[in-house]
Amino acid sequence: MTPEPADSIRSAGLRVTSQRLAVLEALDGLPHADTDTIHRRVREAQPDISLQSVYVVLGALTEAGLIRRIEPAGSPALYERRIGDNHHHAICTGCGAVQDIDCAVGHAPCLTPAQPTGPAAPGTFAIMTAEVTYWGLCPACHQNSQNQQNSQNHKKENA
């Protein structure tokens, strides 16, 4: 069970503010949302909140470990409330949909890098996590792709 947003904020050592509450509550209904989407949702409850304020709140909540920032290549940063577990993401190259993918290994890090050699070998990184992003087509885009392929094949056969 997820703790109440105010309790989460307090337990992270932050002051509970209406802006922080509104952002956490927005993220409850918007997994993998970018800043603009979060801002639009928060403005429904707090019309005067600025985009800059949302950026500041997202930064504070991320730093406190209450939310996670993911940065898919070529896309704006996305934020999610699912934290504290080792999961990855699948991103649709057709529509941009993002889906959580549970890690098959379970523990972090789930990938083990090859041992470095040469001058960088002494004092190597202590790996704590590994981020995996799967790129592909969501079911809807895959179906659309198949339908387009079938339509093109049908046109070629009838030409």
- What does the DSSP 8-state code read for residue 116? P
Return the structure tokens found at 105.
């290994």
95 labeled binding residue: yes
141 labeled binding residue: yes
Residue 4, phi then psi, degrees to nearest 5:
-60, 145
103 labeled binding residue: no
138 labeled binding residue: yes
ω into 109 cis (within 30 of 0): yes
Answer left, alpha or beta for residue 96, where phi above 0 means left and psi between -120 and 50 means alpha: left
Give 27's contacts (C-beta < 8 A, 6+ positions apart): 33, 38, 67, 79, 80, 81
Nearest to 22 by CA among 50, 46, 47, 1: 46
Nearest to 27 by CA among 75, 72, 61: 61
Residues within the annotated binding site? 92, 95, 138, 141
Q: Which residues are annotated as a binding site for Zn(2+)?
A: 92, 95, 138, 141
